[in-house]
Amino acid sequence: MKSILVVDDDKMNLAAARKVLSEEYKVIPAMKGTQALAYLENGDCDMILLDINMPEMNGFELLGKIQEMEQCKNTPVIFLTADKDAETETRCFKEGAIDFIAKPFVPEVMRSRIGRALELEELRLNLANKLEQKTREVSDMKSKSSQDALTGLWNRAYTEDAVNEMIAQGVKGALLMIDMDNFKAINDNYGHIAGDKTLKMFAGTLRTFTGEDDVLCRIGGDEFVVFIKDMTSKSEIGNLAADIISDLCYKLELCEFETNSSVSIGIAQTPEDGMDFNKLYNSADKALYHVKQNGKNSYHFFSDKLQVENDRAGKAVDLNYLREVMSRTDSGRGAYLLDFDSFHHVYNFIRRFVERNGKDVQTVLFTVTENDAQDLDVTEVELVLELLEKAIYTSLRRSDVSTRYSSKQIIVILMDTNTENGDMVAGRILDCFHKLYTGGKVNIDYGIARMEGKNILKSEPIEK
Is residue 463 predicted with pLDDT exceeding 50? Answer: no
Which range of 250-254, 398-402, 454-458 scores highest in mean pLDDT? It is 250-254
Work out the average pLDDT over 234-253: 91
Lowest mean pLDDT among 181-185, 285-289, 437-441: 437-441
pLDDT at 248: 92
In whole angstroms, what is the distance from residue 96 CA to residue 88 CA? 13
Work out the average pLDDT over 290-318: 72
Assigned CATH topology for domain 329-463 = Alpha-Beta Plaits (3.30.70)
The single-letter code of the amino acid at 166 is: M
Is residue 217 predicted with pLDDT exceeding 60? Answer: yes
Is residue 368 predicted with pLDDT exceeding 60? Answer: yes
Is residue 143 predicted with pLDDT exceeding 80? Answer: no
pLDDT at 21: 92
Lowest mean pLDDT among 324-333, 382-391, 411-420: 324-333
Residue of 74 and 304 predicted with greater confidence: 74
Inter-helix orientation angle 378-395/183-190, to 10°: 150
Work out the average pLDDT over 413-419: 90
CATH superfamily of 3-125: Response regulator (3.40.50.2300)
pLDDT at 73: 82
Work out the average pLDDT over 223-236: 93
pLDDT at 459: 43
User: What is the dihedral angle through the alpha carbons of 117, 121, 127, 132, rounded to the nearest 10 degrees?
Assistant: 160
Strands across the sheet with 401-404, in order?
A: 336-338, 401-404, 409-414, 362-370, 442-450, 462-463
Kindly report the average pLDDT of the chain as a whole number: 85
Tens-place pLDDT, residues 424-461: 999 999 998 888 887 777 888 999 999 876 544 444 44
Is residue 57 predicted with pLDDT exceeding 70? Answer: yes
pLDDT band at residue 353, thresholds of 50, 70 and 90?
Answer: confident
Alpha helices in 68-147 (DSSP H): 86-95, 107-145
Q: Do the first three CATH levels of 156-313 and 329-463 match, i.e. the same topology?
A: yes
Tens-place pLDDT, residues 270-281: 998 999 999 999
In whole angstroms, what is the distance from residue 101 CA to residue 17 CA? 11
Collapsed DSSP state (helix, strand, coil) of residue 62: helix
Strands across the sheet with 262-269, in order?
A: 215-220, 223-229, 173-181, 262-269, 299-301
Task: Say how many C-beta atoms besides its own lie within 10 A of residue 419's C-beta.
Answer: 13
Work out the average pLDDT over 147-154: 91
pLDDT at 138: 64
pLDDT at 311: 59
Work out the average pLDDT over 164-172: 94
The DSSP bridge partners found for residue 337 are 402
Is residue 352 predicted with pLDDT exceeding 80? Answer: yes
Contact 279, 298 (CB under 8 A): no
Peptide bond into 107 cis (omega under 30): no
pLDDT band at residue 1, thresholds of 50, 70 and 90?
Answer: confident
Work out the average pLDDT over 12-22: 90
Calculate what percentage of the chain has a pLDDT beyond 70.
88
- Where in the chain are the domains? 3-125, 156-313, 329-463
pLDDT band at residue 227, thresholds of 50, 70 and 90?
Answer: very high
In whole angstroms, what is the distance from residue 202 CA to residue 224 CA? 9
Residue 439 DSSP one-character state: -
Question: CA 87: distance to chain centroid?
Answer: 60
Please report, for residues 73, 100, 111, 240, the alpha-carbon distance to residue 106 in angstroms, rounded to integers and kept in the order given.
Answer: 28, 13, 9, 76
Is residue 124 predicted with pLDDT exceeding 70? Answer: yes
In whole angstroms, what is the distance from residue 99 CA to residue 440 CA? 93
Peptide bond into 29 cis (omega under 30): no
* Catalytically active residues, by annotation: 222
Please report, for residues 32, 128, 213, 228, 250, the alpha-carbon distance to residue 207 in angstroms, rounded to integers and kept in the order given.
Answer: 57, 36, 11, 11, 16
pLDDT at 457: 44
pLDDT at 305: 60
Tens-place pLDDT, residues 20-48: 999 899 999 999 999 999 999 988 899 99
Is domain 156-313 in CATH 3.30.70.270, yes or no? yes
